[in-house]
Amino acid sequence: MEKLTSKRHYLDFNATSPFAPSVSEWLSKGDLLYANPSSVHATGKKGRKFLNEARDYIYKTFKLDPKEFDLVFHSGASEGVNALVKGRALHLLTENKKLNFFRSATDHSSVRNMQADLELLGHKMTIFPVKETGEIDVDSLIEEINKAEGEVLLNFTPMNNETGVCWDWKLANKIKKETNCIVHMDTVQTVGKVPGWNELDSEMDLFTYSAHKFGALKGVGFSFIKKGFKFRPFISGGGQQGGLRSGTENTVGVYTIKLALEDLENEDLSEIEKAKTLFEEGLKKILGDKGHIVGEKAELRAVNTTNFITPGLISQTTAIALDMAGIDISTGSACSSGAVIPSKVLQGMGYSDEDAMSAIRVSFGPDFKEEQVKPILDIFEKVLNKNL
Ligand SMILES: Cc1ncc(COP(=O)(O)O)c(C=O)c1O
């Protein structure tokens, strides 16, 4: 295919983010806190000091009180969510109780794929439906939770990674008040993409984040854990982090979380949203009646994400064409043994396999501006017109 541009457009921020400017600058200086932060010598203490500084900053950013929540660093959200949910499941075994883990039809694979392990331990996973828009029917969910057997731990995803459809944080509060279940907030995608992302509701029990989604390093993340929430840590080791997560802390990674969050302090979400709206207006003209934006009618959507389906096309083919033309995007479908597997998230919203196999996800970053829209749309127009 003809090369349409020499400049690449990275439009895959929900998969991972490039390093935030302060992170790149700090890493390039090379003074990288190599010591073990548990060591008592001066070099170790320096690492501990940076860790503590980052910790204080993270509590402050998300407006949670260290007296109410533990902050535990780990390798990222997949570990975080597994440690909390399966850790609770293990703990309940010691009390002869059963866990009933509620997750939605559109949750991330790290949440979805815990089913086999939970069942192996004798617990249960309940999958609740979402509407066509990807939103939840909160009253039905409350009813179902109140009827459920076992201890209910609900996974609530305020922003969906594939569609950008958001669930109002207030709904989680309503569910908590009317059911008294334990609530885990899968807040991985929210940072810098959803208004109010840094105003966490202290009535919730658990929150989990991955640092690489907002400009810090990969291989590091964190969870806020309400004090009093008991779980059995599945890593046995040196008892770091108050025994909640053994293993030497990733000092460099943790410090980059602070730097990346600092860079987001003055972010203007409305600027990104304006540019995304302009992009969607152009995209809809290109698609005509041959496709549509997923979840467009949802009440709340992330400022940075557009997922669209083009019935009849295979997303992998579109993605390759866009890639060759200089655009990095994602598809929700996956390739396994040569076959394309439709997006589980879109299937969860009721889309047919064919439609779910055609979805393209575009996700913009914190610096996305209106002037960047036209060159991107020009490429989409050329690629899609060839294929639609
Ligand atoms: C909503 C959500 N939860 C959990 C995860 C898992 O994060 P990680 O792959 O960094 O472990 C992701 C990653 O895309 C996500 O989008």
Write down the domain spans for the chain. 9-19+268-387, 32-264
76 within ligand 1 shell (Cβ under 6 A): yes
Q: Whose alpha carbon is nearest atom 7 of ligand 1?
A: 77
Query: Is CATH 3.30.365.10 what the domain over 32-264 is classified as, yes or no?
Result: no
9-19+268-387: what fold? Answer: Aspartate Aminotransferase, domain 1 (3.90.1150)
* pTM score: 0.96
- pLDDT (tens digit per residue) in 351-384: 999 999 999 999 999 999 999 999 999 999 999 9
304 within ligand 1 shell (Cβ under 6 A): no
Q: Please, which pLDDT band fits residue 341 given cuts at 50, 70 and 90?
A: confident
Ligand 1 atom closest to the Cα of residue 210 is: 10
- pLDDT (tens digit per residue) in 150-173: 999 999 999 999 999 999 999 999
| Alpha carbon 51 to its chain's center | 23
Kindly list the distances between the CA atom of residue 182 and the CA atoms of 75, 88, 100, 196, in Å, as whole numbers in the listed order. 23, 11, 10, 22
Question: What is the rounded distance in angstroms from the CA atom of residue 23 to the CA atom of residue 367?
Answer: 15
Q: Please, which pLDDT band fits residue 5 given cuts at 50, 70 and 90?
A: very low
Q: How far is the CA of 72 from the centre of ligand 1 (A)?
A: 17
Q: Whose alpha carbon is nearest atom 4 of ligand 1?
A: 77
- pLDDT (tens digit per residue) in 100-154: 999 999 999 999 999 999 999 999 999 999 999 999 999 999 999 999 999 999 9
Residues paired with 224 in a beta bridge = 71, 207
Do 80 and 208 form a contact (C-beta atoms < 8 A)?
Answer: yes
186 within ligand 1 shell (Cβ under 6 A): yes
For residue 359 the two structure tokens come to: 């979805």
Say what the alpha-carbon torsion angle 108, 104, 345, 369 is, to the nearest 10 degrees: -70
Q: How far is the CA of 154 from the centre of ligand 1 (A)?
A: 17
Q: Whose alpha carbon is nearest atom 9 of ligand 1?
A: 78
Q: Whose alpha carbon is nearest atom 14 of ligand 1?
A: 15
Kindly list the distances between the CA atom of residue 96 and the CA atoms of 119, 138, 179, 183, 247, in Å, as whole numbers in the listed order. 15, 30, 22, 21, 29
